[in-house]
Amino acid sequence: MRNLMVKLKYDGKDFCGWQVQNGLRTVQSVFQETLWDVLGEKTPIHGCSRTDSGVHANEFCVSFRTECSVPCDRLPLALNAKLPCDIAAFDCIQMPNDFHARYNCRGKQYRYLILNSQLRDPFLHARALWYKYPLDAEFLNAQAQDYLGMHDFSAFCSAGSDVQDKVRTVSQCGVRRLADNPDMLEFTVTADGFLYNMVRIMVGTLLQMSAGMLKKDSIPDIILSKDRNKSGFTAAACGLYLNKVLY
């Protein structure tokens, strides 16, 4: 019996998130059916996180135990021969017997892409947020530094979350304009964990600060308020990517 971790990337546009939901196309349901077909056994799978409908992943880790002897370097090839075009496996690693993709995760990095142009790009539809008003990347980056540190991020959690402990530690956060595409802004944030819609609310808050709808340097006060009504809107799912999983 081996304990394996497979790394996936997927375009979330046509998925209703990661977790299995009756009657809906989800990443988990599509991937596990393919995995079971390749392995010849129905083994439980464990995802590193839950991504919402429309959210993408550059790296998503799945662990499972199997008696199948397919070598690790061959399993991604076998999976990709059967997976649909919007999911791909790109690595497989044999892990210790007690490894669990979710419970052993020490942190994650998310990436949010904003097309900052007066003109739409059809090739970025559902893959980046189109925002036509001018944005100052240096200003946004300076404001984003106030997210750093250990805080109660209740003000950046959507209603409906049943998580009681909303304290998270953000270790990296920044905004930059991509050198190879000046119309594209990238927001990245790394933390030991994230709340429901936390990254999308962080982005929405920065955009409302840029628009003058929220005061400059107001993020510390918003955090202290623990009030969701004080922070910005929830930015669209299309620009969000799970970028790295940290173990």
Other Cβ atoms within 10 Å of 81 Cβ, number? 9
For residue 113, what are its two tokens?
A: 């892409």
Give me the helix-helix angle, 198-210 and 137-144, nearest 10°: 130
| CB 55 within 8 Å of CB 241 | yes
Catalytically annotated residue among 52, 86, 136, 152: 52
Cα separation, 7 vs 245, whole angstroms:
10
Cα separation, 155 vs 16, whole angstroms:
25
- Asked if 52 is an active-site residue, the reply is yes
DSSP class per residue in 8-71: EEE-GGG---SS--TTS--HHHHHHHHHHHHHTS---EEES----TT-EEEEEEEEEEE-----
Element at 5 (helix H, strand E)? strand 2-10
Three-class secondary structure of residue 185 per DSSP: strand
> Which residues are identified as catalytic?
52
